């Protein structure tokens, strides 16, 4: 008995010392990140307002369960380990007293049953994980495997360790039954089965097995503890923390403002010597950014949904996080060194790691390749999927900010767009006077706000650059205006006083140009006294609704599909003329995933007589990007298949007459891909890409009772 106590305690002290050292090191490393005081506000507000969401995410495994089979396996394992904490207490108790039972509940058959039930559940989960890993073997499936790039050997080691935890548990409990010291007389069905198998060995052998497997159980659990803190399984401890400090409701919608030393950066007062401009080195990340890196489970869910990865580009959101994490860990000796002398004394490899540029090509051994950085469309699929709430877009756009503002290093073809935004207020450089042209093509007058908005005007219609200046998007704009006019909605536009919201500049990383445009727009809007805005472009919608509040612009903003769906539901718009078309709807990322507007466009289509709508496989939360977001609209797509082509091929498989969407940029990207397919004979000549508003306008009988074709 004394020997087993000594061995058990020595193992425990040694494991906690090794694990504790690592945890202290991780804590110190997180401390080298930038401060992020806002994260404590987020955490406080989560605890106050959405504790339920937190609990659903962590204990309900909400995001994981979206992937039914692996999600269920993970939930079984997670809950198994929660319940099996009781068996660890029992094993420690048995070190000191063979007949130990947990005071109060330790002999209840239901507890014995639950412990065994979850031990078996963990084995079922393990088997499922093993099958998934074999079937998704990266060596066989290449880029199609979500595990490509993950540390698969470590994952197998952990699966083996979990198996040993359960195996040693059932062995010592089975032996305990045969030596008469097991605390549960009924309920522990799996332990009883193992006890039945061991029974023929006799009391003496079972007594030895009991002692050996109690120590083996504690040894495996303690080894598991050490492996966890040295591997990707850190997420077991870090995931609840990461979720607690994450943005809410998620890291979609708005981009965070640029912060330096824990404060929002003011460009007019910024000091180039002391302020941080975007993410230029690993220590420019906040401690929350470093926590994101350490929390990644390497599950590859983000990678499997990324349109850049799916079309053969070098960007994998998982790999970005892993590369940053590996670099942070490798640079840690340099970051944690107490003095310059200590840094100078570091091994050559550590010094070289410290000098690696965060973004750079293979020639300079950069951590993140520029082709990786600039492939991102900001579509949000990675953020949506991540079970531990990692904020990929913030990190990618943070690095873009440094590249644009400090290094002036970005795809050259986007330079014209930035210059046009600065000088002319729109990405094409067409200038303010052209913004009013579309109104001259209507047979009614659209009021332009001059000074204060009229009391009788309900909505300011934010037209957007594409809606005012791009030929295909202008058709949508006219359709929306016509429908609002038909429904008797009082609306007005800013006309030439409207400028780009700044979204393409911000998503490119040019926060300076974004601030300039956004401040100008907020000033204009505030001067008009407008309260309600309807926007046709999801990027404008997202920026005005979610980002302008950062600059003092607070309005009630809706997308045109939301307003039109409501007008149809209220009977103010009556779709009566049949539109006999088979169509499919493409979810714009900044309307759907970023802002959760999935139903209104579909509700409109349902009300148009004759329309037969079929969903593409990748729709709603799992919608596939058109390739235009993240300012990719203004960059060449030189690597892999074009994203818009991939999307159109999915649509063409449904043989539609029409592809509908609700975003001017999707309209252009999908329209271009359809034109290319028509050229190659893969799409019929009559196939069109139109906005939902255009389809509705074709069906709604206007005031003069003639059907319109917008
Ligand atoms: S935002 Fe979209 S394109 Fe960018 S990394 Fe995430 S999934 Fe890929
Ligand atoms: S970032 Fe999130 S989704 Fe991607 S591999 Fe890591 S844990 Fe999984």
Spacing, Cα 308 to ligand 1 middle (Å) = 7
Strand 259-260 and strand 263-264: pairing?
A: antiparallel
Cα–Cα dist 432/453, whole Å = 20
Residues 6 or more apart whose CB falls under 8 angstroms from that of 684 comprise: 678
Write the residue with the smallest CA distance to atom 3 of ligand 1: 376
Residues with CB under 6 Å of ligand 1 are 305-308, 315, 317, 376-382, 392-393
From the CA of 393, give the closest atom in ligand 1. Answer: 1
Name the residue of 146, 298, 323 whose CB sits within 8 Å of the most ligand 2 atoms, as the mutation to test its pocket. Answer: 298
Give me the pLDDT at residue 78, please.
83
Q: Kindly give the number of the ligand 1 atom that is closest to the alpha carbon of 375.
A: 3
> What is the per-residue pLDDT for 64?
66
Res 257: pLDDT = 95
- Classify residue 233 as exposed, middle or buried by CB count within 10 Å of its CB (0-12, 13-18, 19+): buried
pLDDT band at 52; cut points 50, 70, 90:
confident
Local structure of residue 683 (DSSP, 8 states): S
Residues in contact with 299: Cβ distance below 8 Å, sequence separation at least 6, in sequence order: 70, 146, 150, 318, 387
Query: Between 702 and 113, whose confidence is greater?
Result: 113
Cis peptide before 174 (omega within 30 of 0): no
Closest residue by Cα to residue 212 from 193, 198, 196, 227: 198
pLDDT of residue 47: 79
Query: Which has the minimum average pLDDT: 35-49, 118-132, 493-507, 521-535?
Result: 35-49
- Give pLDDT, residue 61: 65
Residue nearest to atom 8 of ligand 1 (CA): 306
151 pLDDT band, cuts 50/70/90, is confident
- The better pLDDT of the pair 85, 49 is held by 85
For residue 246, the ligand closest to its alpha carbon is 2
Q: How far is the CA of 378 from the centre of ligand 1 (A)?
A: 5
Question: Stretch 312-338: mean pLDDT, rounded?
Answer: 96
CA-closest residue to ligand 1 atom 7: 306
pLDDT digits (tens, 9 = 90+) for 370-428: 999 999 999 999 999 999 999 999 999 999 999 999 999 999 999 999 999 999 999 99
- The alpha carbon of 670 and the centre of ligand 1 are apart by a number of angstroms equal to 19
Tell me the per-residue pLDDT of 485-543, one tens digit each, with 9 for 90 and over.
Answer: 999 999 999 999 999 999 999 999 999 999 999 999 999 999 999 999 999 999 999 99
The residues lining ligand 2, judged by C-beta closer than 6 Å to any ligand atom, are 296-302, 317-318, 321, 385-388, 390
Overall average pLDDT of the 630-656 stretch? 96
Please tell me the predicted confidence (pLDDT) of residue 384.
Answer: 95
What's the confidence (pLDDT) of residue 704?
Answer: 54
Model pTM? 0.92
**CA torsion through residues 59, 64, 68, 70, sign:** negative
Candidates 578, 577, 530, 583; CA nearest to 557 is: 530
Alpha helices in 612-703 (DSSP H): 643-652, 664-679, 692-699
Rounded to the nearest whole angstrom, what is the distance from the C-alpha of residue 630 to the centroid of ligand 1?
9
Q: Which of 66, 240, 299 has the most ligand 2 atoms within 8 A of CB, as the residue to mutate?
A: 299
The pLDDT confidence band at residue 709, using thresholds 50, 70 and 90, is: very low
Give me the pLDDT at residue 496, please: 93
Question: Which strands, in side-by-side order, build the sheet including 612-613?
Answer: 612-613, 582-585, 658-661, 688-691
| Residue 452 in this model has a pLDDT that exceeds 80 | yes
Residue of the CA atom closest to atom 1 of ligand 1: 378
Cβ within 8 Å of residue 275, ≥6 positions away: 260, 261, 265
Residue 708 predicted with pLDDT over 50: no
Cα separation of 491 and 400, whole Å?
A: 38
- pLDDT of 59 > 80? The answer is no
Q: What 3 state SS string does 431-455 have?
A: CHHHHHHHHHHCCCCCCECCCCCCC
Neighbours of 24 (CB within 10 A): 10
Note the pLDDT of residue 705. Answer: 54
651-698 pLDDT, tens per residue?
A: 999 999 999 999 999 999 999 999 999 999 999 999 999 999 999 999
Mean pLDDT on 27-34: 96
Whose atoms come closest to the Cα of 293: which ligand? 2
Q: Which atom of ligand 1 lies at the shortest distance from residue 589's CA?
A: 2
Tokens standing for residue 46: 């989560």
Is 475 a residue whose pLDDT tops 60? yes
Going from the Cα of 319 to the center of ligand 2, the distance in angstroms, rounded, reads 9
DSSP code string of 571-620: TSS-B-S----EEEEPPPTTTTTTT---HHHHHHHHHSTT-EE---SS-G
Contact between residue 348 and residue 600 where contact means Cβ atoms under 8 Å apart? no
Mutate to test the pocket of ligand 1, among 292, 303, 314, 379 (most ligand atoms within 8 A of CB): 379
Residue 346: pLDDT band (50, 70, 90) is very high
Task: Flag whether pLDDT at 261 surpasses 50.
Answer: yes
Pocket test for ligand 2, best of 145, 297, 326, 621 (most atoms within 8 A of CB): 297
- Residue closest by Cα to atom 2 of ligand 2: 386
Distance 651 CA to ligand 2 centre (A): 28
pLDDT at 471 over 90: yes
| Separation between Cα atoms, residue 212 and residue 4, nearest integer Å | 9
Instruction: Assess whether pLDDT exceeds 90 at residue 284.
Output: yes
* pLDDT band, very low/low/confident/very high, at 703 (cuts 50, 70, 90): low
Looking at the CA of 150, name the nearest ligand: 2
Tell me the CA–centroid distance for residue 36 and ligand 1, in Å: 24
- Compute the distance from residue 147 Cα to the ligand 2 centre, in Å: 10
Confidence of residue 62 (pLDDT cuts 50, 70, 90): low
Residue 707 has pLDDT above 50, yes or no: no
How high is the pLDDT of residue 360? Answer: 97
Q: Is the pLDDT of residue 706 over 80?
A: no
Query: How many whole angstroms separate alpha carbon 633 and alpha carbon 103?
Result: 65
Distance CA 466, CA 426 (A): 9
Q: Which of 417, 412, 375 is nearest to 397 (CA)?
A: 375
Q: What are the residues whose beta carbons fall under 8 Å from the beta carbon of 24, sequence distance 6 or more?
A: none
Please determine, for residue 550, whether its predicted confidence score (pLDDT) is greater than 60: yes
Residue 46's pLDDT band, with cuts at 50, 70 and 90, is confident
Mean pLDDT of the chain: 93
Confidence of residue 613 (pLDDT cuts 50, 70, 90): very high
């Amino acid at each position: 008995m004394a020997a087993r106590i000594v061995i058990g305690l020595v193992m425990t002290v040694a494991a906690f010392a090794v694990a504790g050292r690592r945890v202290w090191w991780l804590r110190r490393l997180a401390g080298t990140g930038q401060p992020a005081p806002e994260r404590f506000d987020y955490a406080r507000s989560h605890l106050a307002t959405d504790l339920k969401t937190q609990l659903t995410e962590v204990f309900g495994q909400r995001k994981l369960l979206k992937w039914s089979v692996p999600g269920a396996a993970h939930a079984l394992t997670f809950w198994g380990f929660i319940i099996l904490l009781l068996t660890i207490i029992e094993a420690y108790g048995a070190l000191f007293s063979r007949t130990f039972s947990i005071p109060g509940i330790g002999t209840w058959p239901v507890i014995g049953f639950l412990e065994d039930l979850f031990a078996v559940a963990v084995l079922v989960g393990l088997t499922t994980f093993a099958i998934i890993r074999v079937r998704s073997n990266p060596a066989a499936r290449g880029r199609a495997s979500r595990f490509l790039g993950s540390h698969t050997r470590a994952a197998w080691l952990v699966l083996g360790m979990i198996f040993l935890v359960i195996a040693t548990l059932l062995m010592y409990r089975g032996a305990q039954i045969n030596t008469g010291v097991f605390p549960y007389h009924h309920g522990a069905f799996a332990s009883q089965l193992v006890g039945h198998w061991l029974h023929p060995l006799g009391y003496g052998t079972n007594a030895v097995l009991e002692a050996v497997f109690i120590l083996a159980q504690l040894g495996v659990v303690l080894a598991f503890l050490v492996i966890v803190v040295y591997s990707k399984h850190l997420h077991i401890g870090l995931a609840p923390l990461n979720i607690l400090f994450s943005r809410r409701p998620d890291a979609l919608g708005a981009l965070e403002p640029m912060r330096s030393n824990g404060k929002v950066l003011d460009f007019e007062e910024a000091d180039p010597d002391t302020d941080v401009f975007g993410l230029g080195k690993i220590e420019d990340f906040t401690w929350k950014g470093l926590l994101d890196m350490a929390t990644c489970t390497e599950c590859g869910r983000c990678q499997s949904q990324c349109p850049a990865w799916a079309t053969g580009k070098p960007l994998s959101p998982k790999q970005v996080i892993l590369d940053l994490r590996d670099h942070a860990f490798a640079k840690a000796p340099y970051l944690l060194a107490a003095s310059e002398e200590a840094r100078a004394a570091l091994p050559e490899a550590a010094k070289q790691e410290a000098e690696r540029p965060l973004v750079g090509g293979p020639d300079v051994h950069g951590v993140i390749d520029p082709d990786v950085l600039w492939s991102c469309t900001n579509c949000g699929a990675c953020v949506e999927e991540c079970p531990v709430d990692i904020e990929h877009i913030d990190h990618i756009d943070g690095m873009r900010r440094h590249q644009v503002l400090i290094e002036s290093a970005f795809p050259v073809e986007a330079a014209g767009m930035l210059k046009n935004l600065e000088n002319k207020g729109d990405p094409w450089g067409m200038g303010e006077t052209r913004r009013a042209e579309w109104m001259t093509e209507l047979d009614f007058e659209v009021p332009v706000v001059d000074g204060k908005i009229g009391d009788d005007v309900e909505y300011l219609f934010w037209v957007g650059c594409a809606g005012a200046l791009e030929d295909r998007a202008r058709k949508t704009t006219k359709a929306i205006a016509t429908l609002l006019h038909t429904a008797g909605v009082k609306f007005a536009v800013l006309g030439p006083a409207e400028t780009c919201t700044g979204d393409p500049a911000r998503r490119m990383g040019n926060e300076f140009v974004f601030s300039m445009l956004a401040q100008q727009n907020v000033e204009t809007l505030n001067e008009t006294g407008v309260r309600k805005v309807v926007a046709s472009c999801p990027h404008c919608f997202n920026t005005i609704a979610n980002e302008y509040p950062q600059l003092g612009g607070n309005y009630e903003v809706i997308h045109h599909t939301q307003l039109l769906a409501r007008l149809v539901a209220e009977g103010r718009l009556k779709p009566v003329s049949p539109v006999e078309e088979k169509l499919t709807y493409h979810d714009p990322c900044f309307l759907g995933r970023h802002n959760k507007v999935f139903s209104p466009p579909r509700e409109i289509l349902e009300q148009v007589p004759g329309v037969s709508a079929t969903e593409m496989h990748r729709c709603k939360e799992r919608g596939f990007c058109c390739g235009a977001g993240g300012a990719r609209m203004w960059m060449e797509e030189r690597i892999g298949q074009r994203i818009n082509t991939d999307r159109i091929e999915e649509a063409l498989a449904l043989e539609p007459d029409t592809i509908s969407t609700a975003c001017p940029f999707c309209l252009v990207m999908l329209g271009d891909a359809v034109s290319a397919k028509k050229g190659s004979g893969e799409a019929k000549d009559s196939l069109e890409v139109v906005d939902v508003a255009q389809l509705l306008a074709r069906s709604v009988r206007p005031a003069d009772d003639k059907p319109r074709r917008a």
